Each structure stands twice: as C-alpha cells, then as structure tokens.
Amino acid sequence: MWQPTLEFIKNTNLYRQMQKNGFENYKDFYKWSISNRNEFWDITVKALDIQLIKPYSTILDDTDVEHPVWLKDARMNIVDSCFKATPDSPAIVYQKENDENLQTLSYKNLETYINRIANAFIENGLQKGDTIGIDMAMNIEAVAIYLAGIKAGLQVVTVADSFSPDEIKVRFGIAPPKLVFTQDYLLRAGKKLPLYDKVLDAYDGPVIIVPAIENTDIRIKRQDHFWDEFLSDNTHFSSIAMDPLDTITVLFSSGTTGNPKAIPWNHTTAIKSAADGFYHHDIQTGNVVAWPTNLGWMMGPWLIFASLINNGTIALFEGSPMSEAFGRFVQETRINMLGVVPSIVRAWKNTGTMESFDWSAIKCFSSTGESSNPQEMTYLMQLAGNKPVIEYCGGTEIGGGYVTATLIQTNIPSTFSTPALGSEFIIVNEEGKLSDKGEVFLVPPAMGLSFKLLNRDHHKVYYEGTPKIDGKILRRHGDFLIRLDNGYYRVMGRTDDSMNLGGIKVSSLQIEELVNSHIAVTESAAIAVSPPEGGPARLVLYIVPNGIVDKELLQYELQKLIKQKLNPLFKIFDVVVTEKLPRTASNKIMRRVLRAAYQKQN
C-alpha cells in the first residue's frame, strides 16, 4: 500500500478545497458533496475557474432528475476555460515514436493554431451545429481540430483509429459528419498502417488529410485536401456562445445490442472530467499529464479537458506505449500523472521494458478501462518508486468516474477508496436488495451523466425497470461491484452482455454476429472471463460448429475476421467447441452460465 504524509496531503487540491469549505475529514466532505449538490458544484465550478459568457441563474435545476438542467440560463464555450494558464507555459509536449525530437507547444501557440482551424471551418461553409468527424492518432493536430470544432460551435464525432472500415461506417452513419479529418498513415512500431484508405472505405464525403510522414505517397480523391491547404491564415477567432447543454462531442459505447450507443457530451460533461482531474488525480498548474489514448475513447477528451482546464500540460506520444521510446518519453518530459490500461502494465511487467527509466517525477498513476490485479498494480507503483495508483471506473455516459480513489487516503492496489465526489451509487443483489456485492446503480443527478442518446431511447436504456430503493430514482450502469470489509471497493466486471477488451467496451452481440458469419459456425456466444488472479478480461468464444472443425484453425480464422472487420485489439483467448448453447425459456443465450462453467473448468 501507499500512505500519504501529512505534508503531501496539505499540498493537494482536494485538501485545500476541504479546508476552504470547513472540512477536515474526507468522508464528511464526500457526504456533503452529494447531500448539497448545488453548493458542491457551485464551489467546484469556481475552483476550476470555468469561464462564462453569461452567468447561470442556478447551478442545478433537478425538477426532472432524468433531465437535469445544469448552469441554467448561462452561455459559455468550454474551450475558453482551457486557456487560463500563462500564455507562454507549455500546453502540449509531443513526440513521435521514431523521432527523437520533442515538440513543445505553448498555450498561446495552441490557441493561435485552434483559431486558424476554426476560421477554416467558417471559410469552408460550416456553421454552428454542423458535425465534423475525427479519425486520427492522438497528436497535436487531433487536439487542435477537436478544440477548434467546439470553439466554432460544431459537434465533433470521434472514432478510434484502430476500428475497421465497417465500424467507422457504422459510427459516421449514426452521426453523419460534413467533413472528416484523418491521416495518411498510422505509425506503429516502425510500421506504416493505412488510415486514409480505411476512411475512404467507410465515408464518401470530403476528407482532410494530415500527413504523418513527409512527402507522403498516398493519392487523394479530387474533393479531398491536405492539411496545409485547409488551414486559414486568420489567427483571431471569438468562441461561439452556446448553451451549457449543447452537444460538443459524440462518442460511442457498446451496450448489450449490436450497434454502439451514440452518447453526446456537452460543455458540462467537460467540467465533470476536469473536476475528477482536480479532486481525484490532483492535476495542478504546470503538471504534465499523459494517458496513451485516442479521441475515439472517452479518455481522449477527458485528457484534454482535465489537463488544460487545470492549467496543466498534455503529454502526447504518437506510437506504441509498449516501446522503450515511450518509457524514455515519460522520463524526459517529467510526467507527473500517467494513466494506463491494465493490459499495458501486464506487457511492461512481462518484458521489463520500463525498468531502466527514471520515472521519479510521477506523482500518481491512474488505471481504467479494465479490471486490474494487485500484483501488476504493485509492480506499476514500483516503476516510479512506490507511487499510488488511482483506480478509476466510470463510463462514456458519465464523462468520468463514479468510483475512484484520492491522494489523501491510503492507496491499496486494485481497489477504489471512494465514490467520486458529487456522485452517488448503491449496490443491489439479485434479490433487488442493498448489498455489499452486486450490480451498481447510480443515483442521479450528477454532473456529467448523459441525458440523451442519438440512436436509442435513453430512458429505456438507463431507467426503465430499475429498482426503487429508499424512494430514490436509480440509473442502470451494469458493473459488478464488491464493497470490502475496510469500506473500499473492487470492480469485478460487467453484469450485462458487454465487456471491456483492451480497454474498449464492446457487446457480445457485435462479436457473435461477426463470428456467426463464418461458414464453419452455426451459432456462437462471446463471453469475457476474468483471470483467476484478477486483471483484464479475456475473450472466450463458445462455438456450435457446422460439422467437424479444427479448433486451432478455426480460432486463427476467427481472429483474422475480428481483426479485419471489428478491431485488431480484440484478442481471442480461447475457443470452446460445444454441441449447444444454454438458453432461457425466451431463447436468450445464458452467458452467465457459460462464464461460470468456464471459470470452474479452468
């Protein structure tokens, strides 16, 4: 475990905010944050110095708990709150995997860059409320395009660069962009992976290409343009005033149905991200923050808002986080907060790749996306000389975390010490009663919680059929949680038919639909199985074959199919050939039964 010293505690954002509001005990402060939501979020908005064009009349109108109104009557643009730092201080430090040169972009220069892009939107006929798409690596241009779109009053649809053309097409079909930004290639481990070609297979509208390599050899369509041709020379742009609940971003998260849920983020969602960065990750002015991620995953926008609104520096490495070059980047940029997915830590532990670097500048790590195990998180702590790991669990529809940790409490590997400030949840067992072990239900309202979906009935997905306990309206979330004897928590995976693979949420049905298209498969069931020691879930496929099959050959072919059609990050751990699948009376596959059987046998 890691225990903070009194001196360390006194220098945290959280402790200073507690002191300012008359609290000495963290648990008392947390209870106050949920029993006095208006006051808590009011002091938080002020602590973050959120810039408003027109002030709010009230911080929260929760007359309708499912559709609360945050920052009522205000006008704002969240990008204004990203540029309060000293103009010459570093906003982004950036490095490519195969390039030893480190680029630094000041807040002033980043804002100028954003203004040129925002003006280019207007010069190309885009108007407030229009949609653009981004399918790129997490680099300076991606961050600048993203913020410029929001500053210009546009909606930004983001897609992970690892997705197949079919998955890109699905997402751009749900939220059609008028213009898409991408790269010629992705550079990974010395390889050039085509990205523009993937986008062309999925989208037939105009595309702007940001070259990843000089003198690129790609041929582009007549209606497409390279980045330098698109940029405006005009460096001045006034942000478009918007309602705080206007959409700024559309992100995607899979549930228990085949197509992903399209989740709009608004300006207040970004405040939630920044608040979690402020309270739970202790991001302070001048701190350097890194998280190997992508704009298509919620941690991409989270990283931008949590870093810039808190006057920190975003550290971007374009390349594989498994490489020695990444370890050197962490060392040389003196990163203070490093976010990870547990799968990355497992690879570091297995290879020892990061053990030769000086990571002493790290104040804390953060881990999200998958369940972790204590052995690997303890290893991670020691890479920086025994520094704490903030376990952080939430979702795209939350804008951050609902259960997490703090830097003023004892830090125990692979456990969460507290619900996130300003948010509340309860644990319900299979009998529908309060329990220390069972399904998580959130208690609305909380800033960041979604209130609409573009392609689903929001009430049906999150509220219909939820239990009523102590008169509270509960919101479905789907995680399986255990409250430990010491009051801490462990997340044990999902209770529904979705899973986290490689830090990406995907539904069983998405995988099964693809697997069932193979000529040798009659039907299938995809389950996520946690290793006995804990840690990232493993994908296991139960297959009812169409005749006699070679299991190893079938696994190879199905892996190839998933890589081409879905996502190369989804790795099949095992294939189980069976005569039939267990089903309910209504003919639904009983994936829980399969999970239990597999874990018992293995």
Q: For the chain, how many helices (H) and strands (E)?
A: 18, 30
Q: Euclidean distance between the first and final Cα of the chain, in Å? A: 30
500-601: CATH topology: GMP Synthetase; Chain A, domain 3 (3.30.300)
- Residue 269 parent element (H or E): helix 267-279
* DSSP helix/strand/coil, 589: strand
**Residue 182, beta-bridge partner list:** 135, 209
Question: How distant is the alpha carbon of residue 118 from its chain centre?
Answer: 25
Identify the CA nearest to 296 among candidates 404, 366, 199: 199
CA–CA distance, 47 with 195 (Å, rounded to integer): 41
**Residues 131, 155 contacting (CB under 8 angstroms):** yes
Q: Is the dihedral of CA 154, 510, 400, 292 positive or negative?
A: negative
DSSP string, 492-555: EEESSSEEEETTEEEEHHHHHHHHTTSTTEEEEEEEEE--TT--S-EEEEEEEESS---HHHHH
Question: How distant is the alpha carbon of residue 203 from its chain centre?
Answer: 24
Q: What is the pLDDT of residue 28?
A: 98
- The four Cα atoms 245, 246, 248, 251 give a dihedral, to 10 degrees, of 70
Identify the CA nearest to 134 among candidates 120, 147, 123, 145: 145
* DSSP helix/strand/coil, 111: helix
**Residue 575, beta-bridge partner list:** 541
CA–CA distance, 507 with 497 (Å, rounded to integer): 6
For the chain, the structural domain boundaries read: 500-601
CA–CA distance, 487 with 483 (Å, rounded to integer): 6
One-letter amino acid identity for 573? Answer: F
**Residues 525, 581 contacting (CB under 8 angstroms):** yes
CA–CA distance, 97 with 320 (Å, rounded to integer): 7
**Residue 191, beta-bridge partner list:** 188
Q: Which residues of the chain have pLDDT under 50?
A: 255-257, 586
**Residue 289, beta-bridge partner list:** 314, 337
At residue 443, φ and ψ (nearest 5 deg) are: -110, 105
Residue with tokens 């570093």: 90
Q: What is the pLDDT of residue 227?
A: 96
One-letter amino acid identity for 108? Answer: K
Predicted confidence (pLDDT) per residue in 353-412, tens digit: 999 999 999 999 999 987 788 999 999 999 999 999 999 999 999 999 999 999 999 999
Q: What is the pLDDT of residue 255?
A: 46
**Residue 443, beta-bridge partner list:** 424
Q: What is the pLDDT of residue 471?
A: 86
The mean pLDDT of the chain is 93
Q: Which residues contact 260 (CB under 8 A, 6 or more apart)?
A: 170, 171, 174, 252, 253, 254
Q: What is the pLDDT of residue 569?
A: 81
Q: Which residues contact 114 (CB under 8 A, 6 or more apart)?
A: 79, 144, 147, 148, 151, 237
Q: What is the pLDDT of residue 567?
A: 83
**Residue 498, beta-bridge partner list:** 507
Cα angle value 560/565/566 (rounded, 5°): 100
CA–CA distance, 547 with 128 (Å, rounded to integer): 57
Q: What is the pLDDT of residue 534?
A: 73
Q: What is the pLDDT of residue 554?
A: 95
Q: What is the pLDDT of residue 243?
A: 98
Q: What is the pLDDT of residue 372?
A: 85
Q: What is the pLDDT of residue 497?
A: 64
| Cα–Cα distance list, 248 to 242, 265, 384 (Å) | 10, 6, 36
Identify the CA nearest to 330 among candidates 353, 301, 311, 309: 353
Identify the CA nearest to 346 among candidates 387, 324, 376: 376
Number of residues written out for the chain: 602
* DSSP helix/strand/coil, 84: coil
Q: What is the pLDDT of residue 120?
A: 98
Give the Cβ contact number of residue 427 at 10 Å.
19
Identify the CA nearest to 50 among candidates 16, 93, 82, 27: 82
